[in-house]
């Protein structure tokens, strides 16, 4: 039984490789591989937490005097790496510069970082009509874990996922019309509503009541990372089927799960001697001449462009001894021992 170590550094990627994936060609093939495991990994925890395709904080306002609603308003941050304070400051600047206009009224939002790490959102109406409702929105089948709302601390249950949500008033009764994840239409009196957050106001109070996030703000891109390789195919992960809303498993090429348990701007280090590593069996029938290594977030997304710093890792290959050579050595040893025996006994 033998061991071969391979050190991989993403700074050695080909010039055209801008994603966190690289092809490694071995100068000397590794023969008779029994298994492979990741024994070391290092990377800076400076992954972009606002990423391309997921840069909007979305709000909708409902006017109960006219029973009209605004279009969904998207406040867009540039992709990048933000501290929680920086994210709140830039969003508040966008809110102030672009209030939500509806008829003769406007609506302005204000985020505040609380002492306990949670975030509050106040929505303020102006103008002659202040009988309003306001809601947050994020698409049902989007990656909510990578959304700005999630970074701020809002839970999936606090944010509406139906783009056709309607809130109307008839007499003194306010009704919420909503299509749920089973594609069923639901209408329920606001007083009985216990779902996503609804900011409310009346014709005498322009400040819609302040709501607070369910969780503290989360600055890191993700709680853990995946190192993947085409060397392995023995890992299975869960996924939800959007059409049936059922959970299944699928085969994946995850080499190791890396816990992201350090503060932002710190270096993340993994050592197999400290955390149990996944050991992946290999057939050994063919020599290993090349393999891919990639780094993804917890949703399996490759990191791209400037959204990550270079990473490095060490792979350990455990090999079988060459069986033919081993048998030949055994035969030579046995023959030598027999020759010595015969010589010592004058045979």
3-state secondary structure the chain: CEEEEEEEEHHHCCCCCCECEEEEEEEEEECCEEEEEEEEEEEECCCCCEECCECEEEEEEEECCCCEECCCEEEECCCECCCHHHHHHHHHHHHHHCCEEECCEEEEEEEEECCCCCEEEEEEEECCCCCEEEEEECCCCCCHHHCHHHHHCCCHHHCECCCCCEEEEECCEEEEEEECCCCCEEEEEHHHCCCCCCEECECCECEEEEEECCCCCCCCCCCEEEEECCCCCCEEEEEEECCCCEEEEEEECEEEEEECCCCCCCEEEEECCCCCCCCEECCCCCCEEEEEEEEECCCCCECECCCCCCEEEEEEEEECCCHHHHHHHHHHHHHHHHHHHHHHCCC
- Confidence tier at 205 by pLDDT (50, 70, 90): low
- Confidence tier at 199 by pLDDT (50, 70, 90): confident
Whether the Cβ atoms of residue 32 and residue 282 lie closer than 8 Å to each other? no
Predicted local distance difference test score (pLDDT) of residue 141: 84
pLDDT tens sequence across 250-286: 999 999 999 999 998 899 999 988 888 999 999 888 8
Predicted local distance difference test score (pLDDT) of residue 245: 78
- Confidence tier at 129 by pLDDT (50, 70, 90): low
Residue 204: pLDDT over 90: no
pTM comes to: 0.83
59-68, 109-118, 210-219: lowest mean pLDDT where?
Answer: 59-68
Q: What is the separation of C-alpha 274 from the centre of its chain, rounded to a whole number of angstroms?
A: 24
What are residue 340's DSSP bridge partners?
Answer: none
Give the mean pLDDT of the chain: 88
pLDDT tens sequence across 298-344: 999 999 988 999 999 999 999 986 555 455 455 656 666 666 656 66
In whole angstroms, give the CA distance from residue 302 to residue 70: 35
Arithmetic mean of pLDDT, 207-215: 84
Most confidently modeled of 66-70, 86-90, 168-172, 303-307? 86-90
Indicate the pairing of strand 2-9 with strand 68-69: unpaired
Q: Which of 43, 29, 59, 47 is nearest to 218 (CA)?
A: 47
* Cβ density class 132-159: b for 16+ within 10 Å, e for less: bbbbbbbeeeebbbbbbbbbbbbeeebb
- Confidence tier at 24 by pLDDT (50, 70, 90): very high
Residue 346: pLDDT over 70: no
Whether the Cβ atoms of residue 278 and residue 302 lie closer than 8 Å to each other? no
Residue 75: pLDDT over 90: yes
Q: Between 72 and 245, where is the model more confident? A: 72
Arithmetic mean of pLDDT, 123-129: 70
- Confidence tier at 345 by pLDDT (50, 70, 90): low
Q: Over pLDDT 70: what percentage of the chain?
A: 88
Q: Over pLDDT 90: what percentage of the chain?
A: 61
Neighbours of 124 (CB within 10 A): 19
In whole angstroms, give the CA distance from residue 262 to residue 225: 12
Q: Does domain 2-47+223-321 have CATH number 3.40.50.300?
A: no
Residue ranges covered by each domain of the chain: 2-47+223-321, 56-212
């Amino acid at each position: 039984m033998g061991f071969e170590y391979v050190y991989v550094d993403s700074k050695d990627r080909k010039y055209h490789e801008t994603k966190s994936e690289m092809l490694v060609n071995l100068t000397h093939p590794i023969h008779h591989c029994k298994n492979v495991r990741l024994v070391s990994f290092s990377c800076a925890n400076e992954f972009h937490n606002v990423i391309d395709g997921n840069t909007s904080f979305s709000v909708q306002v409902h006017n109960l005097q006219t029973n009209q609603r605004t279009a969904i308003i998207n406040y867009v941050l540039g992709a990048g790496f933000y501290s929680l304070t920086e994210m709140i400051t830039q969003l508040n600047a966008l809110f102030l510069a672009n209030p939500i206009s509806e008829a003769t009224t406007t609506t302005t939002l204000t985020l505040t970082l609380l002492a306990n790490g949670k975030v509050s959102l106040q929505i303020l109406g102006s103008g002659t009509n202040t009988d309003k409702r306001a809601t947050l929105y994020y698409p049902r089948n989007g990656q909510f874990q990578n959304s700005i709302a999630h970074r701020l601390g809002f839970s999936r249950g606090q944010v509406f996922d139906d783009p056709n949500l309607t809130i109307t008033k008839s007499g003194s009764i306010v009704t919420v019309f909503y299509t749920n994840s089973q594609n069923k239409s639901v209408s329920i009196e606001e007083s009985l509503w216990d779902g996503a957050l609804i900011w409310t106001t009346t014709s005498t109070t322009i400040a819609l009541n302040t709501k607070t996030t369910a969780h503290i703000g989360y600055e890191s891109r993700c709680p853990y990372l995946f190192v993947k390789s085409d060397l392995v195919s023995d890992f299975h992960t869960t996924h939800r089927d959007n059409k049936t809303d059922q959970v299944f498993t699928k085969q994946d090429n995850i080499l190791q799960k890396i816990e992201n348990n350090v503060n932002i701007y710190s270096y993340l280090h993994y050592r197999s001697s400290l955390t149990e590593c996944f050991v992946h069996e290999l057939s050994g029938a063919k020599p290993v001449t090349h393999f891919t290594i990639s780094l993804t977030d917890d949703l399996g997304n490759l990191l791209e462009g400037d959204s990550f710093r270079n990473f490095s890792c060490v792979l350990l290959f455990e090999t079988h001894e060459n069986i033919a050579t081993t048998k030949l050595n055994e035969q030579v040893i046995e023959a030598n021992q027999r020759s010595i025996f015969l010589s010592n006994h004058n045979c």
